[in-house]
Amino acid sequence: MASLYPFIADGARAGQRVELKLHKALWKSVGHGDILSLGSFEVDLAGYLSVIVYSGNLRIRLQLNDRDETTSMGPCVLQINSYVDPDAVYRVEKNFLAVDADFDGRRTGIRLSRDRGGKLTRCELTGYIGLTTYLQAVS
């Protein structure tokens, strides 16, 4: 089903503050952000991230263009910071939503899924940068 809600943390909502974390042996906070908008077919997040490969502002926006909850694949727009692919594609695979994009000739992917019993959103970047962060609501 191509709606974002099955792949993001339970209770996530627009206007919510989130903490970005990495997990190896221990949990480590590596940034923060705000969910600017969130609906069945779009999420827009702005914040700051500081990891070995990148420190700076972070903007992630994903929009499922077909707006059809009954389909398992289709067109979408993916933006990561200043890079935008208006011709990206998404597909539902088991327990995650996978998005494939092309940013200036570099293949990039993102996988969204629930983690820790739905308390966290797992966001895995693949391609020229491999990084997995977890988004957790800040009380």
Label residue 101 left, alpha or beta by phi (over 0 means left) and psi (-120 to 50 means alpha).
beta
Handedness of CA 120, 2, 77, 105 (dihedral sign): positive
pLDDT, residue 139, reads: 66
CB distance 59 to 48 below 8 Å: no
Q: Are 7 and 111 in contact (CB under 8 A)?
A: no
Say how far apart CA 10 and CA 25 lie, in whole Å.
25
Write down the pLDDT at residue 68.
92
Average pLDDT over residues 130-135: 89
* Nearest-5° Cα angle at 138, 137 to 139: 115
pTM beyond 0.85, yes or no = yes
